[in-house]
Amino acid sequence: MAKALKISSAALPPADLYDQDYYTWTQAQARALRDHRLDEVDWANVAEEIEDLGKSERRALRSRLVTLLEHLLKFAHARERMFENNARGWELSARNAREAFRERLEENPGLRPQLEGLFISAYRSARIETMKALRLPDAAIPEMPPWTIDEIIDDAFLPPRKS
């Protein structure tokens, strides 16, 4: 039979609770903030968590770009047989990724100034994943994006075929 815990998580100081029972910490911090009990707020960890939320939104936006670029690269560089079997799926996946990207950006317009850097970073990741998936040599896909971000988020855009 398992031993019962002797220490209640809620009895821990906020900084310890953060490390030992994150869920309970989040609930306690939310209550303290809502009730304006500022002396009970674990300010350092709350600030860190808020920053992490912003980073999470940035990562989610980048992830949408990676997916979009990966499918556009596959569309452009797949060998004929693979293209014939997958083109429609890549086109639809690109459409979904565009929509998800635009929604995420609309919800987080503060990320607009970071788009160019996110685009370059996402392209590098998408390039590697595409070369791996299509078994292509490094030279098969340009190191820098051949398209602009405005082009790739345009619903009408599909890249020209390279193969």
- Walk along the chain (163 residues) and give the pLDDT tens digit of each residue: 455 454 556 577 777 888 888 888 889 999 999 999 999 999 999 999 999 999 999 999 999 999 999 999 999 999 999 999 999 999 999 999 999 999 999 999 999 999 999 999 999 999 999 999 999 999 999 999 999 999 999 999 999 998 6
Same domain, yes or no: 26 and 79 = no
Same domain, yes or no: 141 and 96 = yes
Same domain, yes or no: 32 and 71 = no
Please list, residue by residue across 111-133, b when 16 or more beta carbons sit within 10 angstroms of its beta carbon and e when fewer do.
beeebeebbeebbebbbebbbee
Same domain, yes or no: 127 and 81 = yes
* pTM for this prediction: 0.81
What is the residue range of 28's domain? 11-40
User: Domain for residue 69, yes or no?
Assistant: yes
Q: What are phi and psi of 107, to 5 degrees?
A: -75, -20
Report the candidate in 51, 54, 86 with the shortest Cα–Cα distance to residue 71: 86
Same domain, yes or no: 100 and 36 = no
Residue 8's pLDDT is 56
Same domain, yes or no: 91 and 29 = no
Same domain, yes or no: 75 and 109 = yes
Residue 10's pLDDT is 56
Q: What's the structural domain count of the chain? A: 2
Same domain, yes or no: 147 and 68 = yes
